[in-house]
């Protein structure tokens, strides 16, 4: 249950929205890989949480299951250097299959997770893995205002879905069946983002 709870209060939909926007700019990179890349730090976080290497604490007085209600000590996956290493590994593996350009794009999308998390987290993101050296932890703490955090994530979802939708229609060309397919994909991206955000904000 700890895994379920720990992944409920984190940024989820916003990362997916960002990945959808990237697809519009890098259409040759598979969407599924962009989506997976956008969550890679959290995917790796799960087994480390199970192993007790990383952990999360409830914000004093808050429900730890609430949206943004936890202080997350993901000291390896969400450290600046750790995120860079995970990004490089993901990008390098992707480059073998999809080429150097896709590898760079996917590696940068993995790193975007860390960049987008910094404004949200409550100064719990270390610079070095394991918080070596005791350097100041990063995070601007937008989660102190769940409403503002949700609005920011919503903006990423809507803008990313809109960029994806437009690119999908462009690539569909004049073929009516393909246009219908592109619209369906656009709806699916937007609906998935809104559903994920709604469940996350509801603490589910």
Binding site for other proteins (CB under 8 A): 4, 7-8, 10, 12-13, 16, 19, 23, 27-32, 35-36, 39, 42-43, 97-99, 101-102, 168, 171-173, 178, 181-182, 184-185, 188-189, 192, 195-197, 199-200, 204
Query: Token pair of 98, please?
Result: 């999809």
* 3 state DSSP class of 116: helix
Q: CA dist 8 to 38, 73, 88, Å?
A: 16, 15, 26
Distance CA 53, CA 195 (A): 31
CB-wise, 132 or 204, nearer to other proteins?
204
The nearest distance, CB 127 to other proteins, in angstroms, is: 25
Query: What secondary structure letter does DSSP report for 137?
Result: P
What's the min distance (Å) between Cβ of 36 and other proteins? 5
- Min dist. Cβ of residue 35 to other proteins (A): 4
Of 8 and 117, CB closest to other proteins: 8
- 151 vs 187 by CB, closer to other proteins: 187
Distances (CA, A) of 21 to 73, 156, 169, 192: 29, 9, 14, 14
Cβ proximity to other proteins: between 29 and 125 the closer is 29
Indicate the burial class of 57 (C-beta count within 10 angstroms; 0-12, 13-18, 19 or more). exposed
Candidates 92, 152, 159; CA nearest to 117 is 152
- Closer Cβ to other proteins, 3 or 135, answer by number: 3
Minimum CB separation of residue 155 from other proteins in Å reads 17
Q: How far is the CB of 85 from other proteins (least distance, A)?
A: 22
Specify which residues 70 forms β-bridges with. 58
């Amino acid at each position: 249950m700890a895994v379920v709870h720990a992944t409920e209060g984190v940024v989820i939909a916003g990362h997916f929205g960002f990945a959808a926007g990237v697809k519009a700019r890098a259409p040759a990179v598979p969407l599924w890989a962009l989506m997976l890349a956008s969550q890679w730090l959290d995917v790796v976080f799960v087994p480390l949480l199970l192993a007790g290497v990383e952990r999360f604490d409830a914000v004093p007085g808050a429900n730890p299951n609430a949206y943004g209600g936890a202080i997350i000590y993901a000291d390896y996956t969400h450290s600046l250097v750790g995120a860079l290493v995970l990004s490089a590994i993901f990008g390098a593996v992707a480059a073998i299959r999809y080429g150097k350009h896709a590898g760079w794009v996917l590696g940068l999308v993995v790193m975007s997770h860390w960049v987008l998390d910094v404004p949200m987290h409550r100064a719990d993101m270390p610079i070095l893995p394991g918080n070596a050296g005791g350097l100041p932890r990063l995070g601007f703490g937008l989660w102190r205002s769940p409403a503002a955090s949700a609005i920011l994530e919503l903006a990423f979802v809507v803008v990313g879905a809109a960029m994806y939708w437009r690119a999908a229609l462009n690539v569909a060309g004049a073929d009516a069946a393909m246009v219908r397919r592109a619209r369906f994909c656009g709806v699916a991206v937007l609906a998935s983002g809104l559903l994920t955000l709604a469940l996350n904000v509801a603490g589910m």
